[in-house]
Amino acid sequence: MNYIAAYEEIINQQLARIEKMKKGQEFIDYRSLDKIIIGIIGGDGIGPAITAQAGRVLKYLLASEVKAGKVEFRTIDGCTIENRAAVGKAIPDDVLTEIKKCHVLLKGPTTTPRKGDKWANVESANVAMRKELDLFANVRPVKVPKLGIDWTFFRENTECLYALGSQGVHITEDLAIDFRVITTPGTKRIAQLAFDFARRNAKKRVTIVTKANIVKATDGKFLDVCKSVAKDYPEIEVDDWYIDIMTAKLIDQKRRGQFEVLILPNLYGDILTDEAAEFQGGVGTAGSANLGSHHSMFEAIHGSAPRMVDEGREIYADPSSVIRAGAMLLSHIGYQKKADHLFVALETCTVTEKKLVVTGRSDGATGADFADYILEKVSM
Ligand code: IPM
Ligand code: MG
């Protein structure tokens, strides 16, 4: 393999991406649109089952907007592992074209193949969608009031080891090299979003998480750029932590309550947000916003659980993660009251009242029963 040519191509791609980012982009103003198009992507595994339930809830809450022509729902099929593997692409072209026509997306989990699977080892559909739609901010809130936890993670979503995760190079049989990319404009935009959020929500502290003592070039840049953005927000206290001790401090009862807004490069953000979600009941309960300037995608943070489908249990899968993602979507497109209503219903149905429990098996409620329960609460 001519790895010098491979390096050159990678570097040119990234330099072109930087130029595009430098031009800057205005965020879409949903209120100025005649109609907001919401795409619902079932994905695969338990995805179609749980996303259908979340879709029911959203369609109920937006029924009058749909009737008035202000909102349109579109179902986007075909983002399944079978189709993706068949065409050897992370997202089939026709599916991507439909996705790009939507302003916001609610997405079920999609199977990410790995070496040795029965599927072709195509790039993750999640990662491809984040890159294709430039969904640079992965915002993941975790709230557990009784433990004093109210964290909002701003995970950079297009760079770090994910940017070129499927473009590593096998130099010889014994040597494999992957590439980690951190850019100045890429870091600046996630940092600005996090600090703006902190300011708008009267948060006192923003925490930057890296391993800049070891990974000196890329994490060093991430930390420097975040600190320089912080200068525009003098009222906000800034601290920086290394990812190893950060994972420990999240479980330190005396310290964890002090963290409010956290900014992280992609991979550390991936790992730390799974740990954080565990405090509020696990990844099955957490929703996640993937924000870009022209598109946004809302999804669960868990996987597609193909085993549940193999065992015929998908009707028992818990849809609360995608329903929560739906509430985040409502808030993002300006329907804050409806979003709050849904967040309260989720709290009632999963914590305070909990009239039924979804266990993932036939001893628990079905996803449809759970969605009915949510609908009963939001219609009150
Ligand atoms: C997440 C997931 C994804 C990621 C996978 C499914 C590609 O773990 O959203 O956190 O690694 O980002
Ligand atoms: Mg993850």
pLDDT digits (tens, 9 = 90+) for 130-141: 999 999 999 999
Residue 112 Cβ inside 6 Å of ligand 1? The answer reads: yes
DSSP 44-112: STTHHHHHHHHHHHHHHHTHHHHHTTSEEEEEE---SHHHHHHHTSSS-HHHHHHHHT-SEEEE-----
CA–CA separation, 159 vs 35, rounded Å? Answer: 32
Q: In this predicted structure, what is the pLDDT of residue 1?
A: 64
Q: In this predicted structure, what is the pLDDT of residue 34?
A: 96
CA–CA separation, 149 vs 314, rounded Å? Answer: 32
CA–CA separation, 166 vs 371, rounded Å? Answer: 37
Helices (H), the chain: 3-22, 47-61, 63-67, 81-87, 93-100, 125-132, 184-200, 218-230, 243-249, 266-278, 306-310, 320-332, 336-347, 367-378
Where along the chain do the CATH 3.40.718.10 domains lie? 25-134+292-380, 136-156+164-286
- CATH architecture assigned to 25-134+292-380: 3-Layer(aba) Sandwich (3.40)
Q: In this predicted structure, what is the pLDDT of residue 3?
A: 79
Q: In this predicted structure, what is the pLDDT of residue 117?
A: 83
Residue 301 Cβ inside 6 Å of ligand 1? The answer reads: yes
CA–CA separation, 237 vs 239, rounded Å? Answer: 7
**Which atom of ligand 1 approaches the CA of 130 most closely?**
12
Residue 157 Cβ inside 6 Å of ligand 1? The answer reads: no
Whether the CB-CB separation of 322 and 50 falls below 8 Å is answered with yes
Best of 107, 161, 270, 271 to mutate for ligand 1, by most ligand atoms within 8 A of CB? 270
Q: In this predicted structure, what is the pLDDT of residue 25?
A: 77
Which residues, 6+ apart, have CB-to-CB distance to 274 below 8 Å?
283, 301
Residue 127 Cβ inside 6 Å of ligand 1? The answer reads: yes
| Entry pTM | 0.93
Specify the fold of 136-156+164-286: Isopropylmalate Dehydrogenase (3.40.718)
DSSP 265-307: -HHHHHHHHHHHHHTTT-GGG-EEEEE-SS-EEEEESS---HH
Residue 158 Cβ inside 6 Å of ligand 1? The answer reads: no
Query: Which stretches in the chain have pLDDT values below 70?
Result: 1
